[in-house]
Amino acid sequence: MSKIFIYETTVHADWIDYNGHMQDAFYGLVFSYAVDALQDEIGFDEAYRERTGCTIYLLEDHKYYLKEVKQGAQLRVETAVLDSDDKRFHLHLRMIHDGADVAICEFMELHVQKHPTPHASPMPESIARRLEDARYHDPDQLKQRSREIALKR
């Protein structure tokens, strides 16, 4: 069963650049907040991080900027899990304003044990199962896929 994770926000005044639209860096911030929301929902929340000493690191990301957005715009980010293994998960994110895609992003995330030094670590089976259960049924149908980014097995 696939699941789309939703995050919503409004474009803040301090996100606007000298061209009068949202600065490119803030697209990344919004996508990052959307991933934080997914992580909380899937089980990588603050309590998990404190209890285990584990966290999530971003390994790679690819963004497409499709349309500008202005101050006050209501944004919706839809996040799909494309793939996962015992340590990584691959996400596809669509940023939407007024029903139109304004940016697309793919993230490759890594589960990390922070101590004694940060290193890749298998995630708990219960969370790995939630990611697998949320996996998007047909990634080839998604628009604006990035250049190849995939789990190498």
Q: Domain ranges in the chain?
A: 4-137
Mean pLDDT by runs of 10 across the 153 residues of the chain is 92 98 97 98 97 97 94 97 96 96 95 97 97 87 66 70
pLDDT score recorded for residue 1:
63
Q: Are 78 and 96 within 8 A, CB to CB?
A: yes
* Residue 96 β-bridge partners: 76, 101
Name the pTM for this structure.
Answer: 0.91
Beta strands 119-120 and 100-113, pairing class: antiparallel
Which alpha helices (DSSP H) does 13-143 contain, by range?
Answer: 24-42, 46-52, 125-134
Contact 96, 34 (CB under 8 A): no
Q: Which fold has domain 4-137?
A: Thiol Ester Dehydrase; Chain A (3.10.129)
